[in-house]
Structures are given as C-alpha cells and as structure tokens.
C-alpha cells in the first residue's frame, strides 16, 4: 500500500477507534453491565468496521485499480466512481 500520509492517518484513526470500542466491550463484560447495553456497544463497533471496510475498498480502487480523479479514459473513470458509490451504499 503506497497511500498518502493523510489517508494512512485517517485509516489508523479508524482502526484505533475500533480497538477502543473492543476495550469498552471488554470492560463492560467484566463489570457485568446489562447484556443489552453490551450488545449496543458491539453494534457500534460493527458500524465502525463497516466504515473502515468501505474506506479501505475505496483506497484500494483509487490506488490499485482506477482512480476516477486521474483516469484519462472517461468510461473507466465513471465505472470506478460508480463502484465506489455502490460500495458506500452497501457498507453504510
């Protein structure tokens, strides 16, 4: 992955947030707080993982397949742009 520093910082922030959420779930289980509260924390973590997945797929498309912003072939640029849009819809 030869991503920009900005992209890498953003992705690392996302994954550290997920690690923090896993720690919160761990503490919640140890403190024996209610099941349904633990499940709500796990649901947020799942949402954060979908966000990270979507971001990583988008990065992969831009850096290793076709970057819509710099592609000279307009059909490919449009195809890649539509694909990114579809992935965002599926993982939001």
Among 4, 6, 53, 69, binds a copy of itself (CB under 8 A): 53
Among 23, 69, 72, 74, binds a copy of itself (CB under 8 A): 23
79: Cβ contacts below 8 Å, ≥ 6 apart: 66
The whole-angstrom separation of Cα 92 and Cα 88 is 6
65: Cβ contacts below 8 Å, ≥ 6 apart: 80
> From the CB of residue 15, how many other CB atoms can be counted at a distance below 10 Å?
13
Instruction: Name residue, tokens 């709500």.
Output: 40
H or E stretch covering 79: helix 74-91
Q: Which of residues 24-43 bind a copy of itself (CB under 8 A)?
A: 25-26, 29-30, 32-36, 38-40, 42-43
Using rule CB under 8 A, residue 4 touches a copy of itself:
no
Write down the least CB distance from residue 39 to a copy of itself, Å.
Answer: 5
Write down the least CB distance from residue 11 to a copy of itself, Å.
Answer: 5
> From the CB of residue 89, how many other CB atoms can be counted at a distance below 10 Å?
9
Binding-site ranges for a copy of itself (CB under 8 A)? 1-3, 8, 11-12, 15-16, 18-19, 22-23, 25-26, 29-30, 32-36, 38-40, 42-43, 45-46, 49-50, 52-53, 56-57, 59-61, 63-66, 75-76, 78-80, 82-83, 85-87, 89-90
């Amino acid at each position: 992955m030869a991503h920009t520093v900005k992209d890498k910082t953003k992705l690392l922030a996302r994954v550290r947030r997920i690690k923090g959420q896993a720690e919160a779930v761990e503490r919640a289980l140890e403190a024996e707080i209610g099941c349904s509260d633990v499940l709500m924390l796990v649901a947020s973590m799942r949402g954060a993982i979908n966000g990270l997945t979507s971001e990583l797929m988008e990065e992969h498309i831009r850096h290793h397949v076709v970057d819509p912003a710099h592609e000279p072939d307009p059909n490919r640029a449009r195809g890649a742009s539509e694909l990114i849009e579809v992935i965002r819809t599926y993982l939001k």
